[in-house]
Amino acid sequence: MCSGGGGADYGNACPLWDLISAYTGPAFLDPLSTDLATGLDAVRAARAGVEQAWAGWSGPVPLWLRDLVHGDVPSRERLCLGLHDAFDAASWPQVTAGHKAEFTRYALDAAERGVAGALAALCPGSRLVDGCWEVDAPYAWYVAAAGRGLVLLPAFHWTGAALAGDNEDQPLLVVYPAGPGTPVLPSAEPD
């Protein structure tokens, strides 16, 4: 059993710590999907994602990850259980409702201020300078969309700096802390 800061118990999510660095996680862990089940199916098929996540890693690869790359079913299920617990399926309806509210908020903001104004207001401290969207973050990274498009993904379990996912030949993904009501906490169980 692993635990994090404040004695929190992460249960099945423990294996995910083998894949995540201080600021980024591998893109295959959080594929764009319309629902949790579809996202988990995409992760189950992500052998290349695991290999890419470990390509530049120094040190031994954990046994469960090596088994995952070779198609081991218990390792794949371990990863999916970890993702399920990490993203708390109990709060998924709240996350879905939050996405709808956030997309509506952004659309209204873009209609009122224009896309440039809405982008600048999206992340605290961000600004548009000479056509470049600068976002405050604890790391320096220059990413060019280069005509690939931009996907804005509000996060309801993340309150840190915006994160950029730069996957070749795919739209640039920017994950940002959603507006009011973040983070989403599981609802209290009825007595």
Q: What is the pLDDT of residue 56?
A: 65
pLDDT confidence of residue 190: 47
Question: What was the pLDDT predicted at 13?
Answer: 58
Q: What is the pLDDT of residues 153-186, one digit of tens each?
A: 888 777 788 888 777 777 888 888 887 655 555 5
**Final residue before a domain boundary, out of 25, 56, 87:** 87
pLDDT digits (tens, 9 = 90+) for 36-80: 777 777 776 666 666 666 666 677 777 877 787 777 888 878 877
E strand segments, 38-184: 127-129, 132-134, 150-155, 163-165, 172-177
Assigned domain for 77 exists: yes
pLDDT of 81 strictly over 50: yes
State pLDDT tens for residues 113-162: 998 889 888 887 888 888 788 888 887 778 887 888 888 888 877 778 88
- In-domain check, residue 187: no
Is residue 131 in a domain?
Answer: yes
pLDDT 10s digits, 97-123: 888 888 888 899 999 999 888 988 888
Residues 96 and 81 in one domain: no
| Statement to judge: residues 113 and 170 lie in one domain | yes
**Which helix (H) or strand (E) segment is 98 a member of?**
helix 92-122
pLDDT at residue 7 above 50? no
Of 58, 87, 116, which marks where a domain is finished?
87
pLDDT at 10 over 60: no
- Statement to judge: residues 108 and 138 lie in one domain: yes
Question: Do 121 and 80 belong to one domain?
Answer: no
Note whether 173 and 110 are same-domain residues. Answer: yes
Compute the mean pLDDT over every residue in the chain, rounded to the nearest whole number.
73
In a domain, 51, yes or no: yes
Range of the domain at 79: 5-87
Q: Is residue 44 part of a domain?
A: yes
Residue after which a domain boundary falls, among 87, 115, 133: 87
- What total of structural domains would you count in the chain? 2
Rounded Cα distance between 178 and 154, Å, is 5
Same domain, 54 and 96: no
Global pTM exceeds 0.75: no
Residues 98 and 39 occupy one common structural domain = no
Residue type, 42: A
Same domain, 108 and 72: no
**d(Cα 22, Cα 4) in Å, to the nearest integer?**
14
Query: Is 189 within the bounds of a domain?
Result: no
